Amino acid sequence: MNQSSAPASADPFPLAEARTRYQEWTRRLRSEGLLPVEFLLPRLEVPCSRDLPAMMASGARIASPGDQVLRQRIRELGPWGYGIQLRPGLCTAPHAVALERMIYRSHLIAATVRSLLGEAFAQARCVDFACNHGYFSLELAYQGMREAAGFDLRAENVAKARFLKDYFGIANARFEQRDIYDLDPGDKYDVVLNLGVLYHITDPYKLMELSYKLCTRFAVVDSIMHKEPVSAFLQMVNKDTSSHAEGKFNVELHPTYRAVIDLMYAVGFKQVIEVVRAPLGEGRDCPHELYDRLDRRCLIGFKEPVDLPGLRPAAEAPPVSARRAAPAASARGMANLWRRLRGR
Ligand SMILES: C[S@@+](CC[C@H](N)C(=O)[O-])C[C@H]1O[C@@H](n2cnc3c(N)ncnc32)[C@H](O)[C@@H]1O
């Protein structure tokens, strides 16, 4: 061995660099036009204003405890990562953007659940998988849903949800520390909220099957969805399981957009649609960049086909801003890419 040369690394693909390798791969794919934004489902377009949703707006009328006490409690329960306004000027997360994102998601998801249920809303029950802070359960319960049940892996998250429940005085929401894979598939709820968790787990089929089994009407699936135009799961490693927002394992499987659609039909949903803000398209100011780039999307699977007025057909693709669009893919682009990657 040549003593002067640096010792060869034992592992040519160090785990620590997995994310960088994937980012490099997607950067190349994007530059070759191989990560197009696809619209393969009928779309429901819903207004997503910046107005405070009902529960957070009600905080302005809650006088006690005083700000000092609340701030102390928020600190003790943190870190939060999600912005929920308790009263004007007092929020669970310090950055305005966290609150703007929560408001956006609330209009996109909670308001849509309410309007889809229509007159059945007041009698409906929902289960909130991996609820963390419990916001979606709380907002729906506050608006008058009969019951919302949230489950999360971590006691620290359930404590946050219970704190908000007490603060806003919401009796018809309950929270429990539980692995969602341990929920009884025989339990029945009108709606399943499968939000922000599909990309934190390692058994996507079982989770989607559970979503199907537990709901009697529909399941909302809100997730990171990668753009690779194939039905696949991408393995992400090195996850920090000490973080309150992560999954149980340091490995997780991230779905592509096509994988989520295929999986939802595979477990039995009869109709799958996408929910987007109205209007989606060029030059609109969206406070949540993941949805804006369509890296994160919200789909709804119905147990029975429904007739939804105003549903836009999949073929009518919305305009996509230059920031989000990938240049058109070409066969030559693909061949060049493979040649370059193989030659490395
Ligand atoms: C990114 S947060 C999503 C929180 C919330 N559903 C939302 O969409 O804002 C992911 C949550 O999933 C929870 N989680 C991950 N795996 C879980 C499991 N197997 N059972 C229950 N909760 C889980 C984590 O504790 C964390 O609170």
Query: What domains appear along the chain, each with residue ranges and CATH number?
Result: 37-49+103-315 (3.40.50.150)
Q: How far is the CA of 44 from the centre of ligand 1 (A)?
A: 26
Closest by CA position to 93, among listed 78, 109, 110: 78
Strand pairing report for 215-224 and 189-195: parallel
Q: How far is the CA of 33 from the centre of ligand 1 (A)?
A: 33
Q: How far is the CA of 76 from the centre of ligand 1 (A)?
A: 20
Long-range contacts of 180-187 (CB under 8 A, 24+ apart): 180/129, 180/130, 180/151, 180/153, 180/207, 180/210, 181/206, 181/207, 181/210, 183/127, 183/129, 183/151, 183/210, 183/214, 185/209, 185/210, 185/213, 185/214, 186/213, 187/127, 187/214
CA-proximal residue: ligand 1, atom 20 (nearest): 179
- Residue type at 215 in one-letter notation: C
For ligand 1, whether the C-beta of 83 sits within 6 Å is no
Q: How far is the CA of 132 from the centre of ligand 1 (A)?
A: 6
CA-proximal residue: ligand 1, atom 18 (nearest): 179
CA-proximal residue: ligand 1, atom 26 (nearest): 245
- Rounded distance between C-alpha atoms, residue 334 and residue 98, angstroms: 38
Q: How far is CA 166 from the centre of its chain?
A: 25
- Rounded distance between C-alpha atoms, residue 78 and residue 151, angstroms: 18
> Which ligand 1 atom is the nearest neighbour of the CA of 131?
6
∠ Cα 47 50 55 (to 5°)? 95
For ligand 1, whether the C-beta of 206 sits within 6 Å is no
Higher pLDDT, 339 or 323: 339
The dihedral through the CA atoms of 46, 44, 259, 270 has a sign that is positive
Give mean pLDDT, residues 5-14.
Answer: 70
For ligand 1, whether the C-beta of 271 sits within 6 Å is no
CA-proximal residue: ligand 1, atom 2 (nearest): 245
Q: How far is the CA of 79 from the centre of ligand 1 (A)?
A: 14
- Rounded distance between C-alpha atoms, residue 203 and residue 17, angstroms: 24
For ligand 1, whether the C-beta of 134 sits within 6 Å is no
Q: Which residues contact 123 (CB under 8 A, 6 or more apart)?
A: 146
Residue 102 pLDDT > 60, yes or no? yes
Percent of the chain with pLDDT over 70: 88
For ligand 1, whether the C-beta of 180 sits within 6 Å is yes
pTM of the model as a whole: 0.91
From 151, 197, 225, 290, the mutation candidate for ligand 1 (largest count of ligand atoms within 8 A of CB) is 197
Which pair of structure tokens corresponds to residue 25?
A: 């791969």
- Rounded distance between C-alpha atoms, residue 150 and residue 35, angstroms: 35
> Which ligand 1 atom is the nearest neighbour of the CA of 135?
9
Position 276 confidence tier, pLDDT thresholds 50, 70, 90: very high
Q: What integer best gives the mean pLDDT of the chain?
A: 90
Position 6 confidence tier, pLDDT thresholds 50, 70, 90: low
Give mean pLDDT, residues 214-233.
Answer: 97
For ligand 1, whether the C-beta of 132 sits within 6 Å is yes
Give mean pLDDT, residues 79-93.
Answer: 95
| Least confident segment among 128-132, 278-282, 313-317, 320-324 | 320-324
Phi, psi angle pair for 31, to nearest 5°: -70, -20
For ligand 1, whether the C-beta of 245 sits within 6 Å is yes
- Rounded distance between C-alpha atoms, residue 92 and residue 135, angstroms: 12
CA-proximal residue: ligand 1, atom 13 (nearest): 130
- Residue type at 117 in one-letter notation: L
* Chain segment 298-325, per-residue pLDDT in tens: 999 999 999 998 899 987 776 655 345 4
From 200, 222, 254, 298, the mutation candidate for ligand 1 (largest count of ligand atoms within 8 A of CB) is 200
pLDDT of residue 320: 58
Q: Which residues contact 179 (CB under 8 A, 6 or more apart)?
A: 153, 248
